[in-house]
Amino acid sequence: MKKFVIFIGAISCISVRAQNLMTPDELNASRGINFDAVEIRVESISSDLHVLFGVGGNVLASIGSQGVLIVDDQFAPLVPKIRSSISALGGGEADFVINTHWHFDHTGGNPLMGAVGSWMVSHINSRQMMTETQVVNLVTALVEQSPYMDQALPVITYEDQMQFYFNGETIDLMHFGPAHTTGDTAVIFRGSNVVHMGDVFNRSGYPFIDADNGGGIDGVILFCESVLQQIETNTIVVPGHGPIGTYTDLADYVAMLREIRERIAILIAGGATLQEVISARPTAEWDEVMGDPQRLLDRAYASLRE
């Protein structure tokens, strides 16, 4: 009898996944995104370092005497616009593209970047994820990311940390274990005193944690704390999404996540279901600023239950 129940459960699970599975293009269409209408907005941090906002992950561009290095490249349809923004800032094609992680909204430009000879760089786990089909459980949708063609894959990877010496400064790529995904990189521009956090730090609402692919709330907290130890109190902190922030913004974010994590852990220890955790409103005092907490609670609950 028990086997029969498990069998039925597996079938219904598969059918739910099939119903909700969408491509990144379908997800963008469902969100009403029209790439033709998107304009890239540039905020310059210094004469050499600029943040490009469009749709998808924030792009950080180092444009200097040795060439162009960018962190993340959004979506393929935006690459021509990203290129013209870089050109207006005095740069040519990107020599290097660092992928903070493998998600499609940060790496969608890779095929076009690779086609003109840009070298992609990522954590070893992110490259591995890009070689295979992945399903990202956004809670409100399941997005299927297809394997990347060879020219879109990172050609250089690292495990714990690596350095670039480019455009007059040291650039540290650092990995502190599973967090938003299992392949996150913080990119610290030591001379400019700027860090790009990828999606481990989100300033467009509560963070998304890719718990089905090895991410977890404990790892997000640990990753952010590790970065805080690496940077200065006056370091400029670029999040994966949302406006440019500060050391204090990152520290406040960590404090919030620690508190929420503790509340959820206590509820789980008391036997609470996901629905009971949501009903207990463990994020209540932040919701007005941060928005709907359901996706965070769902993914944090999943990662703490493992």
Residue bearing tokens 């790496």: 107
CA distances from 211 to 139, 203, 230 (A): 10, 19, 26
Cβ at position 78, least distance to Zn ion in Å: 16
Cβ at position 129, least distance to Zn ion in Å: 11
Yes or no: say if 236 and 194 are a contact pair by the CB < 8 Å rule. Answer: yes
Spatial CA neighbour of 96 closest among 77, 81, 110: 110
User: Closer to Zn ion at the Cβ: 63 or 120?
Assistant: 120
User: Closer to Zn ion at the Cβ: 103 or 175?
Assistant: 103
**Could you report how far apart the first and last alpha carbons of the chain are, in Å?**
26
- In angstroms, the CA 207 to CA 297 distance is 10
Spatial CA neighbour of 225 closest among 196, 198, 257, 193: 257
Cβ at position 136, least distance to Zn ion in Å: 8
- In angstroms, the CA 65 to CA 303 distance is 44
User: Closer to Zn ion at the Cβ: 56 or 77?
Assistant: 56
Cβ at position 66, least distance to Zn ion in Å: 29
User: Closer to Zn ion at the Cβ: 199 or 218?
Assistant: 199
Interface with Zn ion by CB under 5 A: which residues?
A: 103, 199
Cβ at position 16, least distance to Zn ion in Å: 23
